[in-house]
Amino acid sequence: MELIKHLLFSVYFHQEMIYIVILMIFLGIEVIGRVPSVLHTPLMSGANAIHGVVIIGAIIVMGSAESDNYVALILGFLAVILGTLNVVGGFVVTDRMLEMFKKKK
Amino acid sequence: MEISILTICYLIGSVTFILGLKMLSNPASARKGNLVAATGMTIAIFGTIFLYRYRTSDGATANLTNLPWIFGGLLIGSIVGTLAAKKVKMTAMPEMVSLFNGMGGACAALISFVEFGHIAKHIQEGQPINKGTFLTIFLGLIIGSISFAGSMIAWGKLNGKVKDFSFKGQHIFNLALFAVILALAGFLLLNIDVSNIYLFYVISFLALLYGIFFVLPIGGADMPVVISLLNSFTGVAAACGGFLYGNKVMLTGGILVGAAGTLLTILMCKAMNRSILNVLIGSFGAKSTGAGGDAKAAGNYKEISLSDAATVMAYANKVIIVPGYGLAVAQAQHTCHELEKYLEEKGVEVKYAIHPVAGRMPGHMNVLLAEADVSYDKLLEMEDANDEFKSTDVVLILGANDVVNPAAKNDPASPIYGMPILEVEQAKTVIVNKRSMKPGYAGIENDLFYQPKTSMLFGDAKAALQKLLAEIKGLD
């Protein structure tokens, strides 16, 4: 009962976020729905780079870690590196793929 | 003031993600779309570093600290990421995407780890905790871990370091493992106290294990689907972080990718006539390894000599090339394009038939042929190609196997039964270039190779094409 109350409160408290989730689900499907199959790989790669936005969470973890909390510092540092790999690597790979598409003209 | 500017940064970020994805869906604007999304990401990242204010333990707000560490991490990640992405060969792109995806998943899981550390501290001090926060931490941990472990296995599989592995009843084991993870998470959510904090680490271990066993038995035609699915997993894991920090740009980016990745996965499953659930419990891979054993397609195949192959192709009216993973492995796309150009000069009509799941990723063949400057209008999608095979003299199959296997059409016992294929047997002659008679990635025998109109041209695709081209030039 306590848990249900907690979760219900969370729904109320996060209602804005929940609206965003629902709208984004539809938007994501709409936007992708029109992609020609030629672009499937670059698109997957581009989407891969975009979910690298998780890096922001890593930055927050790292930046809010107390200077004596070594576990948070080390894990946060690692998370920043991995997240950056995802973002930068993802965008560069996608660009490389798309560069070749342009060349044919 | 600062916080409003940060809000605007995040707004810009969210809009560029949506815009970027939209532009990525059109060949003319795709490259710009990628840049737009990258710009938005940069703005969101630097906005966070300089403007984000977090709540300290005494209730005040403060700017982020440890900036040297943050910039150090960003710098290392950028250098390694750029080098890896610049150096990787076109054929190894699918692996690379899988690897980067795994990094994102690991990042999400690590965030959950650190945040749980804070919660554990609250519990030890006897303070109340927010169960909603706890739930998002759990989701981020489980989804992120599965995505990380799964992507690593997918990466290892694609570059040949990890072999297909399955045992009897593996999908039941997988389901049970998943149920245990959910049950433990549910239990911990309700009853967490000092004595059972360790269960959190047990759950993260089990989630990693699940990711491994989830991808291990899946092989061949299902691999693109798995990468796409893991991609959307990581999106959802990122969105969990958005919930955790009330961060809207993480939420929009994560959910967008989660929804888009799921749709892409569904589209690919449809192309193979398979349900997501079927892929999820890994039963396709398990079935195919079982079915691969019965060598029912024994029989005689015939080889064709290079000079015969050259003659047949040079005097044909229309040739359709069916590329597959073999072409990618051999890096034969440029040679293939040369052959195509030379034949066209001789008045032969040459086209390419592209199966949606040929290679290791959707659109893998398109990317590969685009690298070799093959023009778009030469690429036929599956339906159009199947209409044209009837009027085709020679079909040249370059390292494709499962996507041309007639068993998908006429053998209900085959594990790929029902998958739409390129119906190459409608053409007058079929020449198959393969390295050996070994079955394809899905481990299924292919009847096509034993049909009277089919002849085999063994060898590495690049070497074979070079010799073929020389032979055709020698005909003049």
Kindly report, residue by residue over B42-62, the tens digit of the pLDDT: 999 999 999 998 888 777 888
pLDDT, averaged across chain B: 86
The confidence score (pLDDT) of residue A37 equals 67
Whether the pLDDT of residue B337 is over 90: the answer is yes
CB contact under 8 A, A54 and B104: yes
Contact assignment for B107 to A82 by CB distance below 8 Å: yes
| Residue ranges of domains in chain B | 90-291, 306-474
What Rg value do the Cα atoms of chain A yield, rounded?
Answer: 19
Inter-chain contact B107–A49, Cβ cutoff 8 Å? Answer: no
**Which residues have a Cβ under 8 Å from the Cβ of B366 and sit 6 or more positions away?**
A37, A38, A39, A40, A41, B354, B379
Chain A 69-98, CB below 8 Å of chain B: which residues? 69, 71-73, 75-98
pLDDT, greater one: B106 or A36: B106
Q: Is the pLDDT of residue B30 over 80?
A: yes
Find chain B residues with C-beta within 8 A of A85's C-beta.
Answer: 77, 80-81, 84, 100, 103
Check CB contact under 8 Å for A43 and B78.
Answer: no
CA-CA distance, A75 to B201, in Å (whole number)? 15
Least confident of A41-50, B201-210, B214-223, B352-361: B214-223
Percentage of chain B lying above the pLDDT 70 cut: 92
Residue of B nearest to A86 (CA): B100
Are A71 and B252 inside 8 Å of each other by CB?
Answer: no
Active site residue B402: yes
Name the pLDDT band for B392 (thresholds 50, 70, 90). Answer: very high
Backbone phi, psi, residue B455, to 5°: -135, 150
C-alpha–C-alpha distance, residues B348 and B315, integer Å:
8
SS3 A65: coil
Q: Which residues 434-453 of B have a C-beta within 8 angstroms of A?
A: none
Tell me the three-class secondary structure of B181-250, residue by residue: HHHHHHHHHHHCCHHHCCHHHHHHHHHHHHHHHHHCCCCHHHHHHHHHHHHHHHHHHHHHHHHHHCCHHH
Q: Does the pLDDT value for residue A57 go beyond 70?
A: yes
The pLDDT, as a whole number, for residue B436 is 80
Determine, for residues A56 and B110 on separate chains, whether the beta-carbon distance falls below 8 Å: no
pLDDT band at B418 (very low <50, low <70, confident <90, very high): confident
Q: Is the pLDDT of residue B256 over 90?
A: yes
Query: Of chain B residues 209-268, which have a CB less than 8 A from chain A?
Result: 227-228, 231, 234-235, 237-239, 241-261, 263-264
| Residue B251 pLDDT exceeds 70 | yes
**What pLDDT sits at residue B273?**
66
- Statement: residue B196 has pLDDT above 90: no
* CATH code matching the domain that covers B306-474, chosen among 3.40.50.1220, 3.30.2270.10, 3.40.605.10, 3.40.710.10: 3.40.50.1220
B458 φ, ψ (degrees, to nearest 5):
-80, 150
Residue A65 main-chain phi, psi, to 5 deg? -75, 135
- Does residue B45 sit at the A interface (CB-CB below 8 Å)? yes
Q: Which of B222, B294, B393, B402 does the annotation list as catalytic?
A: B402
Per-residue burial over B451-466, b if 16 or more Cβ lie within 10 Å, else e, is eeebbbbebbbbebbb
